[in-house]
Structure 1
C-alpha cells in the first residue's frame, strides 16, 4: 500500500518551546492517523526530525513495514539531509538522521519531497 506522510515541526525561539505533527493518509488521501505533540525545548530542526521519526514509527506500528511511502516536509534541510544531498554537521541532528534512516529503510520503498511551507495539506 502507498502511504503519504506529511510532517511539520516548529520552535518558538531557536531553541525554544517546540512541537511536531504529522498525518498519514492512503494513496487516495483518506486520513489514517494524525498526531501533534509538544517536544519541550528544542530547535526547529530537532522538531522537524521528531515529526519525521514519530510519523515513521506510527506507520510501522499501525500498518507494518510492507508499504511504500511518500514523505512530505516543508523543511528543505531535513529532506536534503535524508536524501543524502546535504551533510549532517550537528551531532544531535546526526543521531536523529541516523534514526530516521533506519526507519525509512524498513519500508519497501520511500521517497522524500519538499513542499512549500504555505501548503495547507502539510499536517492537516
Structure 2
C-alpha cells in the first residue's frame, strides 16, 4: 500500500495556489509540488488529491493507495461521493474517474500536525511561484 499525503496553500481567496504531495513507499519519501493558478483554498485541496492520483497512476499503477489530507471538506465529500457545490462537482468526478486506475483507494482525514511535509511542499511551491511574478 502506498501512503500519500496531500495539502494545498493559497494566497487570497481566491488567489495564487499550489499543492504539495508526499508519497511514502516504505521508508522512501517522494515529494511533488504543483502550481494551481488562481483558486480558493477548498478547490486547491481537491486539486491536490487529483494531482496525487495522477502521479500515482503514472508511478504506482495497480497499487492500493491511501490518501491522507487535513482538508475535512475534501475527505467528507469524497467519502459521501456527492456534493451540492457546483465548483466541487467536476473535481469530485475527476477524482472518481482517477480512482478506477487502482484496485482500491482509501481516504483518511489527518490533523494538520500529521501533514506537515505536504504543507511545507505546497507552501514552498506557492512561494517560489509568487516570487517569480
Q: Which has the higher helix share?
A: 2
Aligned pairs for 1:38-77 (under 5 A) are: 38-64=35-61, 66-77=62-73
Query: How far 1:104 sits from its partner (Å)?
Result: 1.8
Report the TM-score, using the length of structure 1 for normalisation. Answer: 0.87
Which of 86, 91, 98 matches 1:96?
A: 91
Query: How far 1:121 sits from its partner (Å)?
Result: 4.6
Paired residues of 2:69 and 2:115 also in contact (CA < 8 A):
no
Q: Which has the higher strand share?
A: 1
Structure number with greater CO (CA < 8 Å, separation at least 6) is 2
- Residue 18 in 1 paired to residue 17 in 2? yes
Q: Give the CA RMSD over aligned residues.
A: 1.7
SS in structure 1 at match of 2:83 = coil
The aligned residue for residue 8 of structure 1 is 7
Report the TM-score, using the length of structure 2 for normalisation. Answer: 0.81
- Mark the runs of 5 or more structure 2 residues left unpaired by the alignment: 121-133
Paired residues of 1:72 and 1:122 also in contact (CA < 8 A):
no
- Mark the runs of 5 or more structure 1 residues left unpaired by the alignment: none
Aligned pair count?
119
